[in-house]
Amino acid sequence: MKKYLVVIALISLFASCSVGKEEQERQIEEVKTGWKFTKGEVENGEAVNFDDSKWETVRVPHDWAIYGPFDSKNDAQSKKVVADGEKKRKLRLGRTAGLPYMGIGWYRKSFEVVENNADKKLNVEFDGAMSHAKVYLNGNFVGEWPYGYTSFSFDISKFSKVGENVLAVRLENKPQSSRWYPGAGLYRNVRLVYTNKAHVKHWGTNITTPQVSEKMAEVKIKTTVVGSDKCTLLTEIYDSNKLLVATKESESISGDEKELEQSLQVKNPQFWSIETPVIYTVLSKVIREGKILDVYKSSFGVRSFKFTSNDGLHLNGKRLQVQGVCMHHDLGPLGSAVNISALHRQLVILKGMGCNAIRTSHNSPTPELLSLCDTMGFLVMDEAFDEWKKGKNKNGYTHLWDDWAEKDLMALIHRDRNHPSVFMWSVGNEILEQFTDDGWKRAKFLVDIAHREDSSRPVTIGMNREAPALNNFAAQFDLKGWNYHTHLYPWLKETHPDWSFIASETQSTVSSRGYFDLDDVPRKHYVRENLQCSDYALDYCNWSNTPDVGFAMLDDNPFVAGEFVWTGFDYLGEPSPYNLQWPTKNSYFGIVDLCGFPKSVYYLYKARWSKENVLHILPHWNWDQTKVKTVPVHVFTNFNSAELFVNGKSYGVRTKNPKEVYERYRLVWDDVKYEPGEVKVVAFDENGKTAMESSIKTASEPYALQLVSKYAKIKADGESLSFVEVNVVDKDGNFCPTANLSIKFSVEGAGTFHAAGNGNSTDITPFQSNVRNCFNGKCLVMLQSSEKAGTISLTATSDKLKSANFEVTTH
């Protein structure tokens, strides 16, 4: 845990490399507190003298819809999903989580411009606003940006004044505009940026490393400067220890806006890689007559990579298997409101599984995610769109395509092109144009934009079925991404031997943490009355497959660069295979549940992806002996063979069998006689010697609550979170895997109860409720710090159980 805590400190360090006091001409103000908010249309909501005293006071990032209530009528969608092979419309309940994201919302924020900034340029930056944002300052319309995932900036200098100013934002989310929960509101960060008239343009640096060796790295930097006539540009590169390693100053600049290209050399560079994600910092200084007018900070990594048609990805000259997951942007019980503590926790959990790549499905991510991936060593498929002109949703991107597609893609690339983690651009997911004769023209349009704006990365897309390989659509892309359809890869390779491939979306296995159907056979789109999916990792959807089938495809087709599994975490909305039933509010696809608790399948991936020894036994061993006579036991392990014991009795040795797909990656003992007690597995190394042991025990009756957290110390900044795991245990401290009890939480001290969840898709209790049922023995509480240092005290109580307490220190 400690090494990842360092990561957050490093992000702050890179954002504030020491510069002299006289150099701090660019002022950046995070606009987080003091926002006023109301839901619904408001006449003259942008007016300076408008009375917003009765509006709610909120902190940004803010998601107005996550507070609910859940309701099946919220955005119920009658849809025929072509990508799933459907022939007729079906009424989908919970497709966008049954949360009220639709409608209009207004935000207002008063801020002061001091006299010293009277002659400065002033920009307002939004990392994202959901959606159809219209921005006003002092009653004047400034600009708009409809796509809720795109970051954008407006120059508000001509509308600002010394003294009090009023910033207003109107947002509108239309029904049937998304296939998952999009969130609502100013759900990402907002900033005010003051600069001199001579400054580096917003997203104004483009940093590449075209030549890389152990002795030297060529760093090519294109910098766009504005209002910089008769200025010079001084560019400095600092290493991860903040030591100056390269510098270059331009000739005198002429003209109002100009792009300057500089080439610098870094001797004996430290490479950016998955294992050693070393970050360099660039300071771009605009200077006139010896005075520094602007300092613009960027970061980059020294690395080289390429994809080949024969053996996939090579990073810094070494082959690297992409072990990736797709991630939607919501943060479970937090909704879509960005929180760096929650993002960091997700990546720590995924890193622990051996994951090394993230696909930002299916939209531009929050920039904090990319900064974390830079410093923690993740590759990123940076994705722009889920639909183009040919729409999937009644009010989707189809209405924006003509006027905004180029603007949105350019914004994504300009913002993200310096991140070393980003190793490809994806311009779409299962786009309907792939099935048309002229869809390739729109594909080429986007690919040409990406190549024009950044020629250093390949452009890809998530395709499905055979059609795009036959109609010139797939041919437009540098790297061919295919979703599912594992049987196509041998044919694709045979017909297009020069193409490079990545499995852009795989598996879609569905499971519910801790729930086991003892009929352990692969089940396609199987539904149960309790609206759960089995945790044996054998349930899958109409279009998809189990992990075992996906692993075999990759092992049998090594030319595929790797995979992005659907999905890393459960997410709000899209509750297949129960998208026609209610209540089901979130997906079942995750390797990890909505609250960050690993499902059994986590250990199947960990056994394949991680260098750690893995020996995980499933299912649990708490069954009703009057009803259950035999239990199938599976072991997820990276050892080749193991022996199973129940209360000391051997059930024999199992060895992985490469000829049978469901014996190739897991060890299985069918029909193990159930009797309470201990299940033990002994794994053997390649010489037949005992290498590792693991066991599980039958728990007795629930006796106490247990609170556990790796987040006992957090910052007193008003937004950092502590994640506290709540377990039900018996009198001996054994975990009770079938407990589903009501638990009440109370909080005192220097923080607040922020949210709670349990990973159960059928539980529609508001996340903000301090009363929560555990689900199969567990639930999660999120505590948020105040801005005052101290102690947060959490107490958990439940009828007939021993209560528990936990303290979090804020500093």
Question: How does DSSP assign 722-766, residue by residue?
Answer: EEEEEEEE-TTS-B-TT---EEEEEEEESEEEEEEE-S-TT--S-
Name residue 786's amino acid: S
- Whether omega for the bond prior to residue 619 falls within 30 degrees of 0, making it cis, is yes
Terminal Cα distance for the chain, rounded:
18
Written as one string, the DSSP assignment of 142-192 is EEEE--TT--EEEE-GGG--SEEEEEEEEEEE-SS--SS----BS-S-EEE
Catalytic residue among 505, 574, 643, 719: 505
Identify which of 211, 318, 347 has the alpha carbon closest to the alpha carbon of residue 269.
211
Query: 785 pairs with which residues across the strands?
Result: 751
What DSSP designation does 592 have? B
Active site residue 430: yes
Radius of gyration from C-alpha coordinates of the chain: 27
CA–CA gap between residue 371 and residue 202 (Å, rounded): 17
> Of 442, 475, 482, whose CA–CA distance to 461 is shortest?
482
Is the preceding peptide bond at 362 cis, omega within 30 degrees of 0?
Answer: yes
CB atoms within 10 A of CB 650: 11
Q: Is 249 a catalytic residue?
A: no
Q: Measuring CA to CA, how many Å separate 56 from each of 34, 136, 137, 164, 337?
A: 10, 19, 20, 20, 17
* Other C-beta atoms lying within 10 Å of the C-beta of residue 522: 17
The first and second tokens of residue 384, run together, are 């722009």
Pair 649, 637: CB distance under 8 Å: no
- From the candidates 46, 383, 387, 430, which is the catalytic residue? 430
The set of residues, in sequence order, having a beta carbon less than 8 Å from that of 621 and lying 6+ positions away, is 631, 676, 677, 678, 679, 696, 697, 698
Active-site amino acid positions? 430, 505
